[in-house]
Amino acid sequence: MASSDQGSLPITQFHHAGRGWAASAMQCVCTNFGNSGVECLMVAVLLHEHFLRVGDHAKAFLMSGMVARHVQILQLNVEHDADILCEQEESIPWVVKESRRRLFWACYLQDAFIECGIDQLKFISTDDVQIQLPSLEDNFIRNKPCLTEMLRQGTILPFVQGSDVPNRKPQATDDLDLRALYIRAMAIRSRVLKYVKHLGDDIPWNTSQDSGSASHFQRLGQELVALESSIPDAMRMAPENTYSYKSAGRLNLYFSLHILLAQTFNDLYRVGVAGLVYPVSATKWIRDNAPGDFLRRCHQMCATKAAYIATLLDDLYKCHKESMVDMPFAMHAQVCSGVLVTTLASWIELGESATSSLLPEAGLQQFRQMLESNVRVLQHLRAYMQVDLFLESAAQAMKRFDKITEQSRTNAHAETEPTEDQSPRQFSLDYILNPLGVYPIARTQASDGHKPEQFASSAAAKVAVGSTTSPKEWESCADDVMSLDGHDGHDAFQYQSSGLWDWELQTPMLELTGYPTFLDDAFLGQEIAGVRV
């Protein structure tokens, strides 16, 4: 293993190359503060992306708020005018209108990634959106006006008039771009995450056909299936489509759509899997009362979709790994590893000893290969973004998998279910958000942040991350991860001589969804905060 003691240089951190540009851009934003121009908004969006990649989550979080307010000032959530097809001479070019739409949807996705079903963090609501979805890339490049659907499937702008409107509706569907389907998937995911955080009295296994009595879980599941079925053949995952999008330089968006859909299925069906929803007590009633068939279906769905995500990530890595340099891919790899390991552990707790019925086409060896593949992906991304915590989480998930398989062989289930969380005296978003999220880590970077969670009981303040790893154990994890690289070692990552990374500026992607990280929260919190006593 390469180490700093041997004089080896660390891998190149390409994302640091943009710090000079970011400083100039930030100065431009501050100098023109209050300028409501579209160009200023574009700069702010790019700055937000830069801050995420270099790990300045506090700046990214605050920048996202400014972006959302800027969108409201410019009213990008409504069409520029009623002349959608630019048939009047005084209309601005269609490509300009489409650019404004795409800018808005970029801002919407940014906001949706941060809020993740939390109304308190949402600034851009889909209820206020009155613009159509992005058109096909070819139409955009050729400046070819067209009508597309709105966010709600099958609807077009209400003020579009004319006798030929019924004839345009089918074409409005055909002219939807990959971006449009991705936006729809993100909108459904936001509602799924909100549902998981506010289960209330819903009975997920209620499959009544009556619209009034069908569970919210079932309705969301039907929406997901309908969206997945609406993907045209040219956008489905297939070898010929993969190489077509590779030649067009659009592999990133192509794989992102299918991974996001699979992730959203996991977001929904995890309510029946122990350990995939925080706090653990939120879904205890479901696990105690749901029929066995429903629980098995939830486990099988989560395992199947997580395996599919791991396969897609590996395929993209092998096909064109430069196309996966994007923060969502790091998030998906880390969450995928957590879902695979936690679902397997929960499956065993159900009394199912074999993985064959959980994932018929994969045994324990295939499980580990998928976990190794996720680590390999994160090793690659580490050269372009600050994803050290994602990488460590995936490595710890692999160690947890080895413990589970060893215990399953000896029938010695040493780990017990986490204790139920007590209700805190004061509510804070920190109780329901993943510690690897933008908001929680932005709070740790605040110099004078108020901490209402300190008033909670010790049980409530303890984040259930599914691990009791001590600081001394972290260094040994390096050997496990480094062993994945059997070749020249250029893709391998290095640890600092102390065996620990500089966590303070390591800011994982915007996941506030409560998935397990397998990182010790007390140790993690001290390191992120710089152990400021």
Enter the tokens of residue 280: 């653990």
* CA distances to 169, 342, 528 from 525, in Å: 53, 22, 5
C-alpha distances out from residue 63 to 55, 385, 406, 444, Å: 13, 18, 46, 17
Residue 237 placed within a domain = yes
Query: Count of domains in the chain?
Result: 1
Distance CA 530, CA 519 (A): 16
**DSSP class per residue in 164-217:** THHHHHHHHHHTB-HHHHHHHHHHHHHHHHHHHHT-TT--TT---SSTTTS-HH
- Counting other chains too, the contacts that 390-394 makes at CB distance below 8 Å and 24 or more residues apart are 390/330, 390/331, 390/333, 390/334, 390/436, 390/508, 390/509, 391/481, 391/493, 392/474, 392/477, 392/501, 392/519, 393/334, 393/337, 393/338, 393/436, 393/508, 393/517, 393/518, 393/519, 394/333, 394/334, 394/337
How many Å apart are CA 102 and CA 389, to the nearest integer? Answer: 32
Q: Report the candidate in 480, 456, 487, 471 with the shortest Cα–Cα distance to residue 526.
A: 471
Please choose, from the candidates 156, 146, 201, the residue with its C-alpha nearest in 3D space to the C-alpha of residue 177. Answer: 146
Taken as a whole, the chain contains a residue count of 533
For residue 262, tell me if it sits in a domain.
yes
Whether 300 is in a domain gets the answer yes
Range of the domain at 349: 231-411+436-441+512-518
- Give the closest residue to 307 by CA, choosing from 393, 232, 388, 367: 367
With beta carbons less than 8 A apart as the criterion, state whether 266 and 306 touch: yes
Centroid of chain to Cα 425: 30
Taking each helix axis as running N to C, give the angle between helix 388-410 and helix 364-381, from 0 to 180 degrees, rounded to the nearest 10.
170
209: in domain: no
CA 525 to the chain's CA centroid? 21
Q: Does the CA dihedral 254-42-115-374 come out positive or negative? A: positive
Between the CA of residue 504 and those of 54, 343, 386, 452, 527, what are the distances in Å?
12, 30, 11, 21, 6
Predicted local distance difference test score (pLDDT) of residue 15: 81
CA-derived radius of gyration, the chain? 24
Instruction: Give burial (CB, 10 Å; 0-12/13-18/19+) of 351.
Output: exposed
In a domain, 259, yes or no: yes
Task: Yes or no: say if 267 and 197 are a contact pair by the CB < 8 Å rule.
Answer: no
Q: Would you call 39 helix, strand, or coil by DSSP?
A: helix
Q: Which residues of the chain have pLDDT under 70?
A: 1-11, 161-169, 209-212, 352-356, 411-513, 520-533
Tokens of 99: 């650019």
* Rounded-to-10 torsion of CA 219, 224, 226, 230: 160
Q: Provide the residue type at 232 as one letter.
A: P
**Measured distance CA(281)–CA(274) in Å, rounded:** 10
Neighbours of 73 (CB within 10 A): 11
Instruction: Count CB-CB contacts under 10 A for residue 27.
Output: 10
Backbone angles phi, psi at 477, to 5 degrees: -65, -25
What does the angle CA 443 – CA 190 – CA 382 come to, to the nearest 5 degrees? 55
List beta partners, residue 176.
135
C-alpha–C-alpha distance, residues 25 and 30, integer Å: 9
Residue 407 in domain: yes
Nearest to 207 by CA among 215, 216, 196, 198: 215
Give the model's pLDDT for residue 164: 57
In a domain, 54, yes or no: no
CA atoms within 13 A on the CB side of 94: 18
d(CA 367, CA 371): 6
State whether residue 78 is helix, strand or coil: strand
213 burial (CB, 10 Å; 0-12 / 13-18 / 19+) is exposed
Query: What CA–CA distances, in Å, run from 353 to 49, 345, 350, 443?
Result: 44, 10, 9, 42
Q: Tell me if 160 is assigned to some domain.
A: no
